[in-house]
Structure 1
Amino acid sequence: MEENHMSSIMGWFRQRFGKQRNDLDQVQPGKCSQTCPSGHSNTSSSSSSSSSSSISAKPSASDQPLPSVLSSPFRSSLRYDVFVCHNDEDSDLAQSLASFLEAPSNGLRCYLQERDCPAGGAVSTELLQAVQDSHCWLLLVTPNFVKDDWCSYQMHQVLSEGPMSQRIIPAVVNMPRSQLPLELRFLFTVDLNTNKEFGYTLVYKTVLHYLKDMSEKEKPSSASQSDG
């Protein structure tokens, strides 16, 4: 009786787990070429490839046309769209933001001192020229920025060029807005603390809005000059 009982149990195990192993063998990658009849294609593979080809057929962001304002005469009147002011310790963040703005799908022109200031030139002179030759000024305000006298100098150069202007874009990161320099607290501020990608996009849209607004204001004056 005991031998018959054990034999029955072992038979159940072989039947149960032998079936699971066979099922697994049939779905393992590489097994289909051995088990599928010749002349039959792998439907999951073909559907996957057709799906991927349909995805690749969609236009990428870089294929989308740039906003028309980037072709306006007003925009081309200055060399840079965005002057990026930052502390040396925040160079990686500044370069990341500039790379986003300068991406082919966005098409802006940024000034970064460490990249665009000519070697051997007078830094203060080159800086002032870059400020005057930029449509907007992005201040990357961090704890390092607040403690940096050089950043404070750049900030005041910007403020002297366009006080109370939408051209000035303070972007706050790694600190609360309440710790902004007093000179910047009345300005619209971009918060990079919670979502940098969203903040980058907001900076981009702010620059475009300024360029579009100024381009439209330039049109009536240009038309009146041509009529005269």
Structure 2
Amino acid sequence: MEENRASSIMGWFRQRFGKQRNDSDQVKPCPCSQTCSSGHSNTSSSVCSSSSSSSSPKSSISAKPSASDQPLPSVLSSPFRSSLRYDVFVCHNDADSDLAQSLASFLEAPSNGLRCYLQERDCPAGGAVSTELLQAVQDSHCWLLLFTPNFVKDDWCSYQMHQVLSEGPMSQRILPAVVNMPRSQLPLELRFLYTVDLNTNKEFGYTLVYKAVLQYLKDMSEKQKSSSASQTDG
């Protein structure tokens, strides 16, 4: 009889606590996406999370270096180039200001790195125009004369041209460029110089101007180095 009672008590315990254990072992449905089944274990949420993150697109495309990331020519760091404030003095008629600014913007772009002088931009307020002009001519390595029909009719432009010629006649420093006119209409004083033609392809002409300035800076920088070396040896 005692055995029956003990057996009855043990049966009651198994029935009572066995049911609670079975209830706690049931897993609630996964609240993530429909691809997750209700039979996931307790690690199902972390699995779903890692799965969703791995499905996102990867942004591992490396950016291509821009033109401004390319190193500038070494001559632009030379002592000779630093000896003057400007690389190019842009002489032009007032009616051609947009064209002059377009050319200066090309030469001064980060990928090119030149320094230009434009009278309307760089002449200080209150300064005497003729004095400031002469100072800018003397403080520039090269002089670009932007010849247009407006230029050849302008006495002020003619004055600037002769200031340039007096500073560096027969030199690489003078760069005539023609726009909207043939080369044959250049002033007689400049017809012996190589002329950049901007009539057909302005960007190509801008590139020629840039290369001409770099070549001048390179030639003069090397000449200065040779002169310094000769003096040292002597």
Would the TM-score normalized by the shorter structure come out above 0.5? Answer: yes
- 2:189 aligned partner: 183
Pick which of 43-52 and 140-149 moved more: 43-52
How far the C-alpha of 1:223 sits from its partner, in A, is 1.7
Change (3 A) 1:10 1:110: farther
- 1:35 aligned partner: 35
Name the CA distance, whole Å, in 2 between partners of 1:208 and 1:68: 10
Name the CA distance, whole Å, in 2 between partners of 1:35 and 1:85: 73
Name the CA distance, whole Å, in 1 between partners of 2:202 and 2:18: 53
SS of the residue corresponding to residue 181 of structure 2 reads coil
Q: State the aligned residue count.
A: 228
Name the CA distance, whole Å, in 2 between partners of 1:194 and 1:20: 92
Pick which of 212-221 and 26-35 moved more: 26-35
Is the CA contact (8 Å cut-off) linking 2:27 and 2:41 kept in structure 1?
Answer: no
Name the CA distance, whole Å, in 1 between partners of 2:201 and 2:19: 51
Change (3 A) 1:23 1:103: farther
Name the CA distance, whole Å, in 2 between partners of 1:128 and 1:172: 23
Name the CA distance, whole Å, in 1 between partners of 2:30 and 2:93: 55
Describe the superposition over 1:5-33 as per-residue Cα deviations: whole angstroms up to 9, x where unpaired: 99999999999999999999999999999
Describe the superposition over 1:84-108 as per-residue Cα deviations: whole angstroms up to 9, x where unpaired: 0000000000000000000000000
Describe the superposition over 1:63-122 as per-residue Cα deviations: whole angstroms up to 9, x where unpaired: 000000000000000000000000000000000000000000000000000000011101
Name the CA distance, whole Å, in 2 between partners of 1:46 and 1:86: 64
Is the CA contact (8 Å cut-off) linking 1:172 and 1:193 kept in structure 2?
Answer: yes
Change (3 A) 1:145 1:51: farther
Name the CA distance, whole Å, in 1 between partners of 2:175 and 2:64: 34
How far the C-alpha of 1:225 sits from its partner, in A, is 3.3
Name the CA distance, whole Å, in 1 between partners of 2:221 and 2:213: 12
How far the C-alpha of 1:224 sits from its partner, in A, is 2.9
Which of 44, 55, 58 is the matching residue for 2:61? Answer: 55
How far the C-alpha of 1:220 sits from its partner, in A, is 1.3
Pick which of 38-47 and 17-26 moved more: 17-26
How far the C-alpha of 1:59 sits from its partner, in A, is 1.2
Normalising by the residue count of structure 1, what TM-score does the alignment of the two structures yield? 0.76
**Residues 1:20 and 2:26 are matched in the alignment:** no
Structure 1, unmatched stretches of 5+, are none
**Residues 1:206 and 2:212 are matched in the alignment:** yes
Change (3 A) 1:205 1:8: farther
Is the CA contact (8 Å cut-off) linking 1:171 and 1:189 kept in structure 2?
Answer: yes
Change (3 A) 1:92 1:222: same
Name the CA distance, whole Å, in 2 between partners of 1:171 and 1:50: 56
Same amino acid, percent of matched pairs: 92
Describe the superposition over 1:127-172 as per-residue Cα deviations: whole angstroms up to 9, x where unpaired: 0010000000000000000000000000000000111111000010
RMSD of Structure 2 on Structure 1 (CA): 16.0
Name the CA distance, whole Å, in 2 between partners of 1:134 and 1:185: 22
Is the CA contact (8 Å cut-off) linking 1:138 and 1:169 kept in structure 2?
Answer: yes
The structure in which a higher percent of residues are helix is: 1
Larger Rg: 2
Change (3 A) 1:92 1:35: farther
Change (3 A) 1:14 1:88: farther
SS of the residue corresponding to residue 176 of structure 2 reads strand
Name the CA distance, whole Å, in 2 between partners of 1:153 and 1:117: 17
Structure 2, unmatched stretches of 5+, are 44-49
